[in-house]
């Protein structure tokens, strides 16, 4: 699934807000679709059957976690956390068992890396173009790098947890199952609580990757 805590967005000019929303929608939708594409490639067509292999953003927006939750957190003075509606897949139907499920989980963050790389290439190609275009591409790169890094955290329900689950001993798997059973919103608030301690690491990794992409 695709989750993000918005920490990199400080510019509140109207054009910046519009660029942020457009870039985030594009990035989150493609992230979710690629989970479903990978699942289908590995033998599970659940997402396809439910009409989720579409770039229509309305199919990937959850009223509570994509709209209401971030607004409430902003009103409370907290960094907004939002999540797209997760693309469904059946781990029992994908090839390679837990390792197949890990590939499904990795598909989203790796897609964000490819999108960030594409944005960096376009920024270099159009470096002399309109400053507005460059501003959008920079926002697009930042969002995709943050989505990649954040969603690779190995904590349920983030995508990185699928990878950890595939290689972890059974005791660790049981702990992860218990955490996920607590309920999606409760787990999101746990992530928000933990984020204050790991945010310097996340921001540092995101900054290094962003700078690398800008300079290549």
User: 10-61: per-residue pLDDT in tens?
Assistant: 556 788 889 988 999 999 999 999 999 999 999 999 999 999 999 999 999 8
Comparing 18-27, 54-63, 93-102, 189-198, which segment has the lowest mean pLDDT? 189-198
Residue 119 pLDDT > 70: yes
Nearest to 216 by CA among 147, 131, 127: 127
Write down the mean pLDDT value for the chain: 88
Percent of the chain with pLDDT over 70: 95
38, 95 Cβ separation under 8 angstroms: no
pLDDT score recorded for residue 183:
76
**CB < 8 Å & 24+ apart, contacts of 115-122:** 115/26, 115/27, 115/30, 115/140, 115/144, 116/140, 116/141, 116/144, 116/145, 116/148, 116/209, 116/210, 116/213, 117/213, 119/144, 119/213, 120/213, 120/214, 120/216
| Mean pLDDT (whole number) for 81-92 | 88
């Amino acid at each position: 699934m695709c989750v993000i805590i918005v920490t990199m967005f400080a510019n509140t000019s109207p054009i910046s807000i519009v660029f942020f929303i457009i870039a985030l929608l594009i990035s989150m939708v493609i992230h979710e679709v690629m989970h479903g594409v990978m699942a289908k490639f590995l033998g599970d067509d659940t997402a396809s059957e439910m009409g989720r292999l579409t770039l229509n953003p309305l199919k990937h927006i959850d009223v509570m976690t994509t709209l209401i939750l971030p607004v409430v957190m902003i009103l409370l003075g907290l960094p907004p956390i939002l999540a797209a509606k997760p693309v469904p897949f059946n781990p029992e139907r994908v090839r390679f068992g837990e390792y197949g499920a890990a590939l499904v989980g990795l598909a989203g963050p790796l897609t964000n890396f490819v999108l960030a790389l594409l944005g960096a290439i376009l920024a270099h190609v159009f470096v002399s173009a309109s400053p507005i275009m460059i501003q959008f591409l920079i926002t697009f790169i930042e969002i995709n790098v943050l989505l990649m890094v954040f969603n690779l955290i190995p904590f349920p329900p983030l995508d990185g947890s699928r990878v950890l689950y595939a290689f972890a001993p059974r005791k660790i798997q049981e702990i992860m199952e218990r955490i996920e059973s607590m309920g999606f919103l409760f787990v999101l608030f746990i992530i928000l609580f933990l984020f204050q301690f790991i945010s310097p690491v996340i921001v540092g990794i995101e900054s290094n990757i962003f700078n690398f992409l800008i300079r290549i």
